[in-house]
Structure 1
Amino acid sequence: MHKIIPPNFGQQTIQANSTLLVVGGCGGIGYGLVEQALALGAKVVVMDLPSAGIRRNISALTEFIKIDLRDKDSIVSAFNKVDKLGTKFDSVVITSGYTLGSESISVLDIDKFDDVMSGNLRGPVIALQCASRCLSEQSSIVLLSTAIGQIGSPGYSAYGAAKSGLNAITRILASELSPVHRVNAIAPGAVNTAFIRGGYAAGANEDGAASRFNEEDYNKKIPLGRMANIDDIIGPILFLLSDSARYITGQVIHVNGGGLMRD
Structure 2
Amino acid sequence: MSLFSGTNCVVTGGTRGIGEAVARRFVRAGATVVLTGRTADAAQEAAEQLSERGPGKAYGLGFDLASPDAVVAAADQMEELLGGIDVLVNNAGIATLHRFVDVPVGDFDAVFAVNVRGSFVLSQAVAQSMADRGGAIINISSQAGHQGQALVSHYAASKAALLGLTKCMALELAPAIRVNAVCPGIIETDMIQEDFKRQATLLGGEAEQVRDRTLARIPLGRFQQAEAIADAVAFLASPAAQEITGQVLHVNGGMTTS
| Alignment TM-score, normalising by the size of structure 2 | 0.85
User: In the alignment, is the contact (CA less than 8 A) between 1:26 and 1:52 conserved in 2?
Assistant: no
User: In the alignment, is the contact (CA less than 8 A) between 1:196 and 1:211 conserved in 2?
Assistant: no
Question: Which residue in 1 is equivalent to 2:241?
Answer: 245
Q: CA 1:51 to 1:141, structure 2 compared with 1: closer, same or farther past 3 Å?
A: same
- Report the residue type matching 1:131 in the other structure: V
Question: Which residue in 2 is equivalent to 1:35?
Answer: 24
Question: Which residue in 1 is equivalent to 2:128?
Answer: 133
**Structure with the largest fraction of helix:** 2
User: In the alignment, is the contact (CA less than 8 A) between 2:43 and 2:61 conserved in 1?
Assistant: no
Q: How many percent of aligned residue pairs carry the same amino acid? A: 28
1:210 CA drift (Å) = 6.7
Instruction: Decide which of 104, 111, 119 is 1:116's aligned counterpart.
Output: 111
**Aligned-partner Cα distance in 2 for 1:169–1:154:** 23
1:155 CA drift (Å) = 1.5
Give deviations 1:39-92, integer Å, cap 9, x for gaps: 111111112211672585434532111121111121122112124335212211
**Aligned-partner Cα distance in 1 for 2:239–2:155:** 32
Gaps in structure 1 of 5+ consecutive residues: 1-10, 200-208
1:134 CA drift (Å) = 3.9
1:47 aligns with 2:43: no
Question: Which residue in 2 is equivalent to 1:165?
Answer: 161
Give deviations 1:96-119, integer Å, cap 9, x for gaps: 11102x212222211111111111
Question: Which residue in 1 is equivalent to 2:98?
Answer: 103
**Aligned-partner Cα distance in 2 for 1:131–1:235:** 23
Alignment of 1:89-238 (within 5 A): 89-100=85-96, 102-135=97-130, 137-193=133-189, 196=192, 211-212=198-199, 214-238=210-234
- Report the residue type matching 1:91 in the other structure: V
Aligned residues: 241
Instruction: Decide which of 8, 15, 23 is 2:12's aligned counterpart.
Output: 23
**Aligned-partner Cα distance in 1 for 2:128–2:41:** 26
| Alignment TM-score, normalising by the size of structure 1 | 0.84
**Aligned-partner Cα distance in 1 for 2:80–2:40:** 23
User: In the alignment, is the contact (CA less than 8 A) between 1:142 and 1:184 conserved in 2?
Assistant: yes
Give deviations 1:216-239, integer Å, cap 9, x for gaps: 331122110100011111111111
CA RMSD of aligned residues (A): 2.3
